[in-house]
Structure 1
Amino acid sequence: MELYRRSRNAPVTDWMILINVLVFLYTALRGGMSDNDILLRYGASYTPYIFEKHEYWRLLTAAFLHFGIRHLGNNMLVLFVTGNSLEHALGHVKYLVFYLLSAVGTSACSYAVEVWMRREVLSVGASGVVFAVLGGLIWVLIRNRGRFEEFRTRNLLFFSGLMLLGGFISEGVDNVAHTSGLLIGFLLAVVLYRRPAVTLFSTDMT
């Protein structure tokens, strides 16, 4: 157990998962798992409300809401597995900044496309952030010659591709958030990640 605590050491990731779960339980108790009115009340992204009422805070709050237990579970599972490694790479404060900017950035990209296509879409979910974490890890792997903790570039690219494909062949999925998440996460990691310098030690045997 002590080894697990030392190796994980990802309080921001764990707190984000906890907040998502608690928000889900709170809205579920009010019938909001698939009730659009409840989700709108608690911060879902909805194009007319943002465009006409200027409720831009929804670009952030939407990332903490989910349509159902499967939607929540899938996102939190991937975040649990990948988020801790990115948090180790960036550090706790930078990772928190990364997480919040990814949430707003992916929601903003989806909103911009919806306005451009003149669609009125209600969107919730942390999948944009999840893809941003994958994008960030890809840059970390590049900077570390294809290996970082348990991840390898080929495996992560394959996993990211499968997740993207799953979105495109499914209905009701915000693929703009997914694709923009990969790009936003990659670019944020370029700015925020600094590879630790390697220190060489020598021993004087004389």
Structure 2
Amino acid sequence: MYGKRRNAPVTDFLILVNILVFLYVALRGGMRDDEVLLRCGASYTPYVLERREYWRLLTAAFLHFGIRHLGNNMFVLFVTGDSLEHALGHVKYLIFYLFSAVGASAASLAVEVAMGQKVLSAGASGVVFAVLGGLIWVLIRNRGRFEEFRIRNLLFFSGVMLLSGFFTEGVDNAAHAGGLLVGFLLAVVLYRRPAVTLFSTDMT
């Protein structure tokens, strides 16, 4: 048997963009250099609110603090993103991704403001959780199954990933939870289950 052909140009393109941005920042001495990350678009509460640099809510999702940070996010996106892209279609998936990036960053920003924190934020993990949230809705609409995913397995995986963040230092749990919720809600709006044709008649 042959596995399903991967047809996810948007997912693959976004992964490539994340990798290229990482290499660009690394060559400029970034990854762990806050000044470089800020210049390249990381989210920082005073810059977003006081300078009104709202674009950082999007650009921060394409920056990473290290190769492991990048690798973990891109691996999960590679494994899950193609299925959501198949479900939504290429254009809707791109819209989903970009709005999820902003939504997850906004959730992180809101929690930082509420707690009086000023944290430098970057990473695609919020979008990754949004993809998981989107897939959960797709699975619900398809009676718990879609391609290779099953609702129980995905819920368990999402829960483990979400909980593990609370036991790991330096993890933006607000972006994770916010991304999961934003992705679920965006999928509710964007996903349309294909109509099932029960009977077909050859009239020729």
Same fold (TM over 0.5): yes
Q: CA deviation at 1:151?
A: 0.1
* 1:202 to partner: Cα distance: 4.2
Q: Which runs of 5+ in 2 are unaligned?
A: none
- Answering whether residue 32 of structure 2 is matched by residue 54 of structure 1, we say no
- Helix, strand or coil: the match of 1:8? coil
Match of 1:135 among 127, 133, 139: 133
Structure 2 equivalent of residue 107 of structure 1: 105
- Alignment counterpart, residue 148 of structure 2, candidates 145, 150, 157: 150
- Alpha-carbon deviation of 1:115? 1.3
Q: State the 4+ residue runs in structure 1 displaced beyond 4 angstroms.
A: none
Supply the distance in 2 between the matched residues of 1:181 and 1:53 (Cα, whole angstroms): 24
State how far apart, in whole Å, the 1-side matches of 2:12 and 2:117 are. Answer: 35
**Deviates further, 156-165 or 6-15:** 6-15
Query: How far, CA to CA, are the matches of 1:176 and 1:94 in structure 2?
Result: 25
The CA deviation string for residues 11-64 of structure 1, in whole angstroms up to 9 with x for no partner, is 110000000000000000111011000000000000111111111000000000
Separation in 2 of the partners of 1:115 and 1:160? 26
Give the letter for the 1:15 counterpart. F
Whole-Å separation in 1 of the counterparts to 2:198 and 2:166: 47
SS in 2 for 1:48: helix
1:122 maps onto 2:120 in alignment: yes
Q: Secondary structure at the match of 2:5?
A: helix
SS of aligned partner of 1:7: coil
Name the CA distance, whole Å, in 1 between partners of 2:145 and 2:41. Answer: 38
Return the offset for 1:203. 5.4
For the residues of structure 1 that align with 2:163 and 2:116, how far apart are their CA atoms? 25
Q: Distance in 2 between matches of 1:27 and 1:43?
A: 10
Once the two structures are superposed, residues 94-134 of structure 1 have per-residue CA deviations (whole angstroms, 9 ceiling, x without a partner) of 00000000000110111111112111100000000000000
Amino acid at match of 1:184: V
**Could you tell me which of 25, 29, 33 is aligned with 2:31?**
33
Shift of residue 7, structure 1, vs aligned partner:
2.1
Give the TM-score normalised by structure 2: 0.96
Quick one: which of 156, 159, 183 aligns to 2:157?
A: 159
Match of 2:182 in 1: 184
Partners of 2:110 and 2:159 in 1: how far apart?
24
Letter in 1 for 2:123: G
Count residues with an aligned counterpart.
201
Deviations 1:160-203 (A, max 9, x none): 01101111100000000001111110000000000000012345
Letter in 1 for 2:103: G
1:77 corresponds in structure 2 to: 75
**1:44 corresponding residue in structure 2:** 42
Aligned-partner Cα distance in 1 for 2:76–2:119:
25
1:8 CA displacement: 1.4
Distance 2:200 2:81 in 1: 35
What do the CA deviations read for 1:140-160 (whole angstroms, capped 9, x no partner)?
A: 000000000000000000110
- Residue equivalent to 1:95: 93
Q: Which amino acid aligns with 1:18?
A: L
Identity of aligned residues (%): 81
